[in-house]
Amino acid sequence: MTALLLRDLRLAVRAGGGFGLGLAFFLIMVVLVPLGVGPEGELLARIAPGILWVGALLACLLSLDRIFALDHEDGSLDLLATAPIPLEGAVTMKAMAHWMTTGLPLVLAAPVLGLLLNLPGGGYVWLVASLALGTPALSVIGTFGAALTVGLRRGGLLLSLLVLPLYVPTLIFGAEVVRRGAEGLSVTTPLLLLAGITLGSIALLPFASAAAIRINLR
């Protein structure tokens, strides 16, 4: 399992599988928003939680179609499906590799980008906490979508249409955590709901992803 994780991390760095791409998109989006809506600090502070979470969501979406694409092209996916290791474990490692190369850089960069949107001081801790808790769910859900569309030509648009509705609850509760934290309100309810989505996705979706891959490889 560890060897598979390290292999996917190396592929992400060498083959442009999303490493740095999502972070660059996140940065560009956050820089463009003040240019589009104006420099008013109060307005930027009000929309900052939603903008930061939408940017993180779209940045994670960019590289989803590459999670299984390279393995399917060179036949590695067939070997993984017949290997003695559980396919569910292999899917989990791929989701983890996607998060480490896409989600984790977003978590680390988010406080700096929050400054550009005039995010209130109380929101920075909750911004990092919500992204750290919610982006793993984005990677796991995205891996499920990638498993459903593996082998399809030009499946990127279909993948986006499948995954975006599943991302909505994570987006709502993640942005709500940041908004409440910035306003000094209690974040317990949205934070627990966000944690529930992440834990439920990690517990259930690897099995669904593995089943989808087996069906697509028949």
pLDDT tens-digit readout, 179-212: 999 999 999 999 999 999 999 999 999 999 999 8
Report whether 155 contacts 149 (CB < 8 A): yes
Burial class (CB in 10 A: 0-12, 13-18, 19+), 73: exposed
Report whether 118 contacts 163 (CB < 8 A): no
Record the pTM. 0.90
- What distance lies between CA 191 and its chain's CA centroid? 17
Cα–Cα distance measured from residue 149 to residue 65, given in angstroms and rounded to the nearest whole number? 8
Question: Region 141-165: what's the mean pLDDT?
Answer: 85
Question: What pLDDT score does 111 carry?
Answer: 92
Q: What is the pLDDT of residues 45-87, one digit of tens each?
A: 999 999 999 999 999 888 887 788 777 777 777 777 777 788 8
Per-residue b/e over 89-123, b at no fewer than 16 CB within 10 Å? ebbbbbbbbbbbbbbbbbbebbbebbebbbbbeeb
The residue type found at 162 is L
Cα–Cα distance measured from residue 95 to residue 217, given in angstroms and rounded to the nearest whole number? 19
